[in-house]
């Protein structure tokens, strides 16, 4: 899918030992946090992690851990961006449903009403079908699966160019086929 990026933020409120007013005054046990992050990274074999802490809604502390680009020795910082991959689908689905709840997106309307850059197919594709992976839109081709796309697209509509002219692989509403491109169409609709 598209290369959506988001800074990883972890909200931790850890008072300093012996400080009774730690949470009210904004004190943060950074040594304890660093130990916890290091242990988590080692356990999960994560090359990098960025952490931000806020107290009472205000940024208090942030840091990067590990290597954002291990091949080139580039250290992670508090502002390192990370590729979200399929986590983007949850964010996209939430945004679509928020728009639907507000009456701004009809889940049963042809998706071209909201994403005119995606051409009409032989059967109607709706937001509901795309959300459920029932629209008949393909997933990765064999080549794409072997060499994942890390290309940055300047817009969601530019990302559609990869698959928008492909035929549907099933009649919409008849078969489940997991589809990252389907969620790119939803991103366009948003």
**Antiparallel, parallel or unpaired: β 5-6 and 48-55:** unpaired
Return the percent helix, strand and coil in the chain, to nearest 5: 35, 15, 50
Measure the CA–CA gap between 181 and 169, rounded to whole angstroms: 12
Residue 86 falls in the annotated catalytic set: yes
Whether the CB-CB separation of 113 and 106 falls below 8 Å is answered with: yes
Query: Kind and range of the H or E element at 65?
Result: strand 58-69
Choice among 19, 38, 81, 86 that is catalytic: 86
- For 60, what's the count of Cα atoms within 13 Å in the CB-facing half-sphere? 21
Q: Which residues are catalytic?
A: 86
């Amino acid at each position: 899918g598209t290369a959506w990026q988001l800074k990883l933020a972890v909200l931790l409120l850890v008072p300093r030992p012996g400080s009774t007013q730690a949470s009210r005054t904004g004190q943060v046990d950074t040594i304890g946090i660093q130990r916890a992050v290091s242990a988590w990274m080692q356990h999960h074999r994560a090359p990098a992690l960025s952490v931000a802490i806020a107290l009472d809604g205000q940024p208090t502390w942030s840091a990067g851990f590990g290597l954002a680009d291990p091949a080139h020795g580039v250290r992670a910082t508090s502002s390192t961006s990370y590729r979200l991959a399929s986590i983007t689908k949850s964010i996209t689905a939430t945004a679509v449903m928020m728009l639907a709840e507000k009456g701004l997106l009809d889940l049963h309307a042809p998706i071209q009403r909201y994403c005119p850059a995606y051409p009409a197919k032989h059967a109607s594709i709706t937001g509901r079908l795309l959300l459920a992976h029932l629209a008949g839109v393909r997933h990765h081709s064999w080549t794409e699966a072997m060499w994942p796309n890390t290309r940055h697209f300047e817009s969601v509509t530019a990302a559609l160019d990869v698959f928008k002219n492909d035929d549907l692989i099933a009649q919409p509403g008849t078969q489940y086929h997991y589809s990252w491109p389907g969620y790119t169409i939803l991103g366009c609709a948003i």
